[in-house]
C-alpha cells in the first residue's frame, strides 16, 4: 500500500504538520471571512456616507435656487416688470435696475456651479440676464448671448407658458463663443389666467458637479447619475438614458456589473440620485487586509512546518535509538520495507521476552533476594536510597522504616536457632531478612522505634540464657539509612568477635565494645620463638607463645581482630621456620585450618600441633638444623652490625642460646671468633664511608658503624689498618 512506503519519520512529520495546520486553517478561514465581511461593510459605509454628503451638497445648490426664486417674487420691481409689455432701460428706475443687477449677480457668485441666471418675460418676449447686464430680446438671447438648441425650438414659448413646476433640461450652451454643458433649471415666477408670464432660469455647469463627485468618489469605475421626473440630469455611467431608466439598480449592481449600489431621493427637490461603486473600491481595504492575513498564514504555516519537523525528529530519535538496539531481531529488508510495523513486531517480541523473563525472575526470586541482601552488606558504591528501596520493593522486601540494624552470629548457631529467632521477631513490629554472608548468619532489621528493637534484644537474651550451649551474637549501632548497612554489619561482627574472645554467651552491642588497641608481639619475642623452634625446643616454644597470649588477653582493649592479627603473625613466624629448614608442606594443612577458627581453644590446639611438628623435624634432622642455625646467626649479625648493642650475649639472648654455643657455631660458620668478625666488618664499612663521604666527621662515622666512643673507633681502626682514620682519608 501507499502508506506502507512512507517511513515512520515522514509520518510523524505529516502528523504533526496536520495537527498544527488544521487549527491554523480553521482560524485563518474564519478570521478571513469575518475580517473580509467587516472591512467590506466598513468600505460600503464609507462610500454611503460620501455619497450622502455629495448628494446633500448638490441638492443644496438647487434648493438655494428655489429659495432665491421665492425671495425674488417678493421684490416690487420684479412685480412691476412682469406686467410690462415692452421692457426698456429708459423706463426703469435706475435704482431698481441696480438692485436687480446686484441681487442677480450676488446670488450667481455664491456658488461656482451657477454659471448663468436670467428672467424671461413672456409678455414682452424679453430676457434680463446677468451675462448681458440689461434687457435683450428673445432672438438675441437664444442665438448670441445664450445660444442653445432647446430655446431655439419653435414650441419653446408654449413650453415656457405651460411651466407649472420646476423643470430641468440638459443643454449645451454657447455664451459668446464660450461653450459648456449644464442643467437649465426653470422655475415659474408668475401666472396669469393659467399661464406662466414670467420664469426664472438658472444654468448649472455639469463640470462643477462632476468636481464634487470626483472629490467623493475619485475612481474611474465608480458610476453616478441623477434623475428627475424621467430626465437624466447627470450621467457618469457607460449606459444611455433609456438603459438607465430601464434598469433595476439593485439588480444591476448585484448581477450585471458586480458593483455596490446606493440610492437617495431628495424631498425638497424631487431628485433621485444613484451611484454604483465598484467592488475594487469598496473592498480595497479588505483586499489589503486579506493579503496581510494570507501572508501571516503563510509565515505561520512555514513556521508550523519547521516546528512539526523539529517535533517529529525529537520524537523519532528515541524510536531510532530503540531500533538501533533491537535491529538484529528482525531481517533488514523488513526494516527497509516498513519500519513502523517492524518496530511494532520487534517491541512485541521484546515484551514477550520480558514476560518470560518475569516468569524466570519469579522462579529465581529467592536467589535474587539473597544476592540483593549480600550486595547491601558489601562495602561498595551504593546508589541513592530511593533507588535501593525501589529495588527492594520489586523483590517484595518490606524495607522503608526509618531505622536499620544488623544481628549477627556464627553460621552454626544461625542454623540451629533460625526458627526460634524468626518466631521471636514475629512478635514485634520489625521487618527483617535473614541471609548467610561470609560464614556468618546475619539478620537485617528494619524498625520504627528503638524501644521495639530493645524489647526484641531482651527476648533474644532470655532465650540464649536458657540454652545449654554457648552462642555469641553481635549487634551494630542503628542507622537511619539503608546505605550505611555495610558499616553496621562490620560493627555487629566486631561485637560478636569480642564476645567470642571473652567466651561470654549472649548478645554484645557495638557501643559496649571497648576501643581497639594494638596486639603485643615485639621483635625480640618473635626471634626467641623462632630460635626455639629452629633449635627443636618444644616446651620452651610453647612457654614463649603462652606468655605472649597471656599478655594480649590481659589487655582488655585488644579486640578480636587484633587477636586475629596476633595469631596471623605467629603463623608467619612458623612459616619462616619452614623456609629456614627448607621444608615445604609440613604445616600447610594446619595453616589452612587457622582460617576456620572462631574460638581460642581452636587456635591453641592448632599452634601447639604446628610447634610439635617443627620441633620433631629439627630433632630428627639435628645436623642439617645446625647449618640452618649457623646461617640464621650469620644473617642476624649482619643485619645488626651497626647496632652498638651488638655482642655475643645479645645474639645468644636473641636466639635463646648460650654464649659458648653461639660462639662455637659462629666460628664454624666464619672461621674466626665473633668479636674479630664484628670488628673487621665494621672497619670495612667505615673505610667505604671515609672514601665516599669526605665531609662526614670521624666521630659520626664511628657512630654509624656501631661504636659509641670516638676513641674506641680510632683505636680499633688503627689496630686493624695500622693507621688512623684521618690518615686513611688522606691517602
> Residue 87, SS3?
coil
For CA atoms 284, 286, 292, 298, give the dihedral sign: negative
**What Å distances lie between residue 245 and 213, 227, 257, 277, 677, CA to CA?**
21, 9, 16, 18, 157
Beta bridge partners of 344: none
Strands 506-509 and 472-475: parallel
Angle, helices 622-639 vs 600-620, to 10°: value is: 110
188 - beta bridge partners?
199
The answer, yes or no, to whether residue 113 has pLDDT greater than 80, is no
The whole-number pLDDT of residue 2 equals 42
- The candidate with the shortest Cα–Cα distance to 64, out of 196, 202, 182, is 202
Strand spans (E) along 59-165? 114-121, 126-129, 134-137
Better-scored residue on pLDDT, 164 or 307: 164
Report which of residues 178 and 287 the model is more confident about.
178
Nearest to 213 by CA among 65, 113, 115: 113
pLDDT tier for residue 11 given thresholds of 50, 70 and 90: low
The pLDDT tens digits of the residues spanning 350-409 come to 777 677 767 777 777 888 888 888 888 887 666 788 888 888 888 888 888 999 999 988
Residues 699, 571: Cα–Cα separation, whole Å? 43
pLDDT at 292 over 80: no
Q: What percent of the chain has pLDDT over 90?
A: 4
Residue 1: helix, strand or coil by DSSP? coil
* Maximum distance among all Cα pairs of the chain, rounded to whole angstroms: 196
The three grid cell numbers given for residue 45, joined into one nine-digit string: 459605509
Which CA distances in Å does 281 have to 146, 198, 390? Answer: 40, 47, 75
pTM here is 0.39
Please provide the distance, in angstroms rounded to a whole number, between the alpha carbons at the two ends of the chain: 109
pLDDT of residue 405: 93
- DSSP code of residue 676: H
DSSP string, 421-433: HHHHHTTSSEEEE
Q: Which three cell numbers stand for residue 471?
A: 552462642
Q: How many helices (H) and strands (E) does the chain have?
A: 29, 15
Amino acid at each position: 500500500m501507499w502508506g506502507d512506503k512512507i517511513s515512520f519519520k515522514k509520518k510523524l512529520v505529516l502528523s504533526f504538520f496536520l495537527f498544527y495546520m488544521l487549527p491554523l486553517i480553521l482560524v485563518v478561514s474564519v478570521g478571513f471571512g469575518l475580517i473580509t465581511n467587516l472591512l467590506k461593510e466598513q468600505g460600503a459605509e464609507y462610500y454611503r456616507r460620501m455619497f450622502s454628503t455629495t448628494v446633500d451638497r448638490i441638492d443644496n445648490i438647487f434648493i438655494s435656487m428655489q429659495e432665491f426664486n421665492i425671495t425674488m417674487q417678493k421684490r416690487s420691481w420684479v412685480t412691476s416688470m412682469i406686467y410690462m409689455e415692452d421692457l426698456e432701460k429708459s423706463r426703469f428706475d435706475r435704482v431698481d435696475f441696480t438692485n436687480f443687477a446686484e441681487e442677480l449677480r450676488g446670488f450667481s457668485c455664491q456658488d461656482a456651479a451657477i454659471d448663468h441666471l436670467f428672467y424671461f418675460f413672456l409678455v414682452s418676449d424679453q430676457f434680463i440676464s446677468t451675462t448681458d447686464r440689461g434687457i435683450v430680446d428673445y432672438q438675441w438671447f437664444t442665438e448670441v448671448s445664450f445660444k442653445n438648441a432647446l430655446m431655439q425650438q419653435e414650441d419653446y414659448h408654449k413650453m415656457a407658458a405651460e411651466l407649472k413646476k420646476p423643470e430641468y433640461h440638459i443643454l449645451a450652451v454657447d455664451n459668446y463663443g464660450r461653450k459648456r454643458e449644464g442643467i437649465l433649471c426653470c422655475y415659474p415666477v408668475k401666472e396669469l389666467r393659467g399661464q406662466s408670464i414670467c420664469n426664472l432660469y438658472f444654468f448649472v455647469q455639469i463640470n462643477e458637479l462632476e468636481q464634487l463627485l470626483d472629490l467623493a468618489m475619485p475612481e474611474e469605475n465608480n458610476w453616478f447619475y441623477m434623475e428627475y421626473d424621467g430626465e437624466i440630469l447627470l450621467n457618469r455611467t457607460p449606459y444611455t438614458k433609456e438603459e438607465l431608466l430601464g434598469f433595476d439598480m439593485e439588480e444591476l449592481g448585484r448581477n450585471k456589473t458586480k458593483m455596490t449600489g446606493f440610492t437617495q431621493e431628495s424631498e425638497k427637490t424631487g431628485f433621485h440620485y444613484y451611484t454604483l461603486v465598484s467592488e475594487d473600491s469598496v473592498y480595497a481595504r479588505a483586499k489589503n487586509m486579506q493579503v496581510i492575513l494570507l501572508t501571516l498564514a503563510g509565515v505561520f504555516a512555514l513556521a508550523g512546518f519547521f516546528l512539526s519537523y523539529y517535533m517529529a525528529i525529537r520524537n523519532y530519535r528515541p524510536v531510532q535509538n530503540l531500533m538501533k538496539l533491537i535491529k538484529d531481531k528482525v531481517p533488514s529488508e523488513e526494516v527497509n520495507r516498513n519500519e513502523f510495523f517492524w518496530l511494532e513486531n520487534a517491541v512485541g517480541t521484546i515484551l514477550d521476552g520480558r514476560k518470560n523473563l518475569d516468569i524466570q525472575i519469579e522462579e529465581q526470586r529467592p536467589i535474587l533476594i539473597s544476592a540483593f541482601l549480600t550486595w547491601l552488606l558489601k562495602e561498595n558504591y551504593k546508589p541513592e536510597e530511593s533507588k535501593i528501596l525501589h529495588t527492594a520493593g520489586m523483590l517484595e522486601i518490606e524495607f522503608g522504616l526509618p531505622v536499620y540494624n544488623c544481628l549477627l552470629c556464627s553460621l552454626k548457631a544461625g542454623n540451629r536457632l533460625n526458627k526460634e529467632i524468626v518466631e521471636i521477631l514475629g512478635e514485634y513490629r520489625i521487618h527483617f531478612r535473614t541471609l548467610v554472608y561470609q560464614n556468618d548468619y546475619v539478620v537485617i532489621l528494619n524498625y520504627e522505634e528503638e524501644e521495639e528493637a530493645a524489647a526484641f534484644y531482651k527476648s533474644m537474651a532470655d532465650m540464649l540464657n536458657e540454652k545449654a550451649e554457648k552462642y555469641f551474637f553481635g549487634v551494630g549501632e542503628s542507622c537511619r539509612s539503608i546505605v550505611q548497612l555495610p558499616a553496621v554489619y562490620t560493627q555487629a561482627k566486631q561485637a560478636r568477635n569480642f564476645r567470642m574472645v571473652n567466651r561470654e554467651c549472649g548478645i554484645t552491642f557495638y557501643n559496649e565494645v571497648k576501643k581497639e588497641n594494638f596486639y603485643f608481639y615485639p621483635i625480640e619475642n618473635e626471634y626467641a620463638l623462632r630460635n626455639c623452634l629452629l633449635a627443636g625446643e618444644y616446651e620452651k616454644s610453647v612457654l614463649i607463645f603462652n606468655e605472649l597470649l597471656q599478655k594480649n588477653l590481659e589487655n582488655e582493649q585488644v579486640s578480636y581482630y587484633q587477636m586475629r592479627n596476633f595469631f596471623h603473625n605467629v603463623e608467619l613466624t612458623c612459616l619462616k621456620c619452614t623456609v629456614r629448614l627448607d621444608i615445604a608442606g609440613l604445616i600447610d594443612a594446619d595453616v589452612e585450618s587457622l582460617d576456620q577458627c572462631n574460638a581460642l581453644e581452636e587456635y591453641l590446639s592448632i599452634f601447639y600441633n604446628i610447634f610439635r611438628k617443627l620441633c620433631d623435624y629439627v630433632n630428627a634432622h639435628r645436623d642439617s638444623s645446625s647449618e640452618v642455625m649457623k646461617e640464621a646467626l650469620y644473617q642476624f649479625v649482619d643485619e645488626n652490625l651497626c647496632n652498638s648493642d651488638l655482642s655475643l650475649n645479645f645474639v645468644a639472648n636473641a636466639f635463646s642460646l648460650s654464649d659458648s654455643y653461639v660462639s662455637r657455631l659462629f666460628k664454624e660458620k666464619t672461621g674466626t671468633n665473633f668479636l674479630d668478625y664484628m670488628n673487621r666488618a665494621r672497619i670495612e664499612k667505615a673505610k667505604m664511608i671515609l672514601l665516599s663521604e669526605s665531609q662526614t666527621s670521624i666521630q659520626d662515622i664511628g657512630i654509624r658503624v656501631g661504636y659509641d666512643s670516638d676513641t674506641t673507633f680510632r683505636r680499633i681502626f688503627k689496630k686493624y689498618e695500622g693507621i688512623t682514620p684521618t690518615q686513611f682519608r688522606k691517602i
